[in-house]
């Protein structure tokens, strides 16, 4: 079965409060890497036949970030997520297979979780699988409504009743669709809503009404679902990614004396028995050999450090 992916990367991100028109939300960096690049790296191992990014506001910046990994489609008018997916029709409409749709501002999604979701979708012969999670305070999230365990609909916060407001299973905003059925459903989307937009969740409603098999895939680690909508959420995501990256290096045999105050980009490679001292920034595609000592307060950017080398305190090395 063919697999396709659509990354929604066209939104303005007005809550980022940037005055620059040339910067898209998904191009904001964490540890030197744009948000959308984390999503791309999570999707690439999934054996995709097509990986498509939909760009729009600040699109020239976004296009530069994604063009080496994705086919690029433009959404020139911001008319909602459903409309963004419509823009990919020339590349995907009519094709057999499965399409995962996710947002470009969710940098904590992991390949492992996305592959598990694909496997669940395929093993259960679903036409649509919705990623969900459980949260004690679901305010602001779309509630997942089920009857006898069967998916019925998603109720947005503004439409909740006292009964549905108590539902703690919520929409994570990642979907896997039967591709042909998706593009048939998109033809029936309407803009008769307060925002005047095409909602991707309306396509889900069409799947249910047509009797197609709709199911949910619940993730246990809700941090993976974190979206970045403002600078505070950007900082939260950065701290979580810092912890994840540093943990993996330590598991691989690297000593990081103060993980909370050590900053390592996702593409950095470090050999076993090296020691990273506090306050060090290691960015880009830096390669550090074995049994090195880095810092404290060293800055390395896209350089190579040979085995047994010492990078002195406060030393700066750049490509």
C-alpha 134/C-alpha 186 separation (Å) is 28
- Name which of 2-11, 58-67, 188-197 the model is least confident about: 188-197
Q: What SS3 class is residue 148? A: coil
Could you read off the pLDDT of 106-151 as tens digits, one per residue?
999 999 999 999 999 999 999 999 999 999 999 999 999 999 999 9
Residue 60 confidence (pLDDT): 95
- Name which of 151-165, 172-186, 269-283 the model is least confident about: 151-165
pLDDT tier at 67 (50, 70, 90 boundaries)? very high
More confident residue, 274 or 192: 274
**Whether the Cβ atoms of residue 102 and residue 96 lie closer than 8 Å to each other:** no
Percent with pLDDT over 70 in the chain: 100
Residue 195 confidence (pLDDT): 83
Distance spanning both ends of the chain, measured CA to CA: 43
CATH 3.30.420.40 applies to domain 3-225: no
Domains of the chain: which residue ranges?
3-225, 252-318
pLDDT tier at 22 (50, 70, 90 boundaries)? confident
Omega within 30 of 0 (cis) for the link into 102 = no
pTM of the model: 0.96
Architecture of domain 252-318: 3 Solenoid (2.160)
DSSP 8-class letter at 54 = E
Element (H or E) spanning 103, and its range? strand 98-103
C-alpha 145/C-alpha 167 separation (Å) is 8
């Amino acid at each position: 079965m063919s697999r396709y992916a659509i990354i929604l990367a066209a939104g303005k991100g007005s809550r980022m409060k940037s005055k620059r028109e040339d910067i898209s939300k998904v191009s904001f960096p964490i540890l030197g890497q744009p948000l959308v690049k984390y999503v791309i790296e999570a999707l690439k191992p999934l054996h995709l036949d097509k990986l498509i990014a939909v760009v729009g506001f600040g699109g020239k910046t976004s296009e530069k970030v994604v063009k080496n990994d994705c086919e690029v489609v433009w959404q020139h008018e911001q008319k909602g997520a459903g409309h963004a997916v419509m823009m990919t029709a020339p590349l995907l409409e009519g094709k057999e297979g499965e399409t995962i749709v996710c947002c470009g501002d969710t940098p904590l999604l992991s390949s492992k979780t996305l592959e598990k979701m694909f496997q669940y979708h395929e093993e259960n012969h679903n036409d649509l699988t919705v990623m969900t999670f459980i949260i004690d305070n679901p305010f602001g999230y779309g509630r997942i409504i089920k009857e006898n365990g069967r998916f019925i609909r998603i109720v947005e916060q503004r439409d909740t009743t006292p009964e549905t407001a108590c539902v703690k299973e919520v929409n994570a905003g990642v979907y896997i669709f039967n591709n042909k059925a998706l593009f048939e459903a998109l033809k029936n989307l309407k803009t008769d809503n307060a925002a005047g937009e095409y909602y991707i969740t309306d396509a889900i409603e069409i799947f249910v009404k047509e009797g197609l098999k709709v199911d949910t895939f619940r993730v246990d680690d809700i941090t993976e679902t974190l979206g970045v909508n403002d600078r505070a959420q950007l900082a939260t995501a950065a701290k979580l990614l810092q912890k994840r990256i540093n943990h993996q290096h330590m598991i691989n045999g690297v000593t990081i004396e103060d993980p909370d105050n050590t900053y390592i980009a996702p593409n950095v490679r470090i050999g076993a028995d090296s020691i990273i001292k506090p306050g060090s920034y290691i960015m880009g595609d830096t390669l550090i050999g074995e049994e090195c000592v880095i810092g404290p307060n060293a800055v390395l950017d896209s350089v190579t450090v040979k085995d047994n080398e010492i990078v002195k305190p406060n030393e700066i090395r750049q490509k």
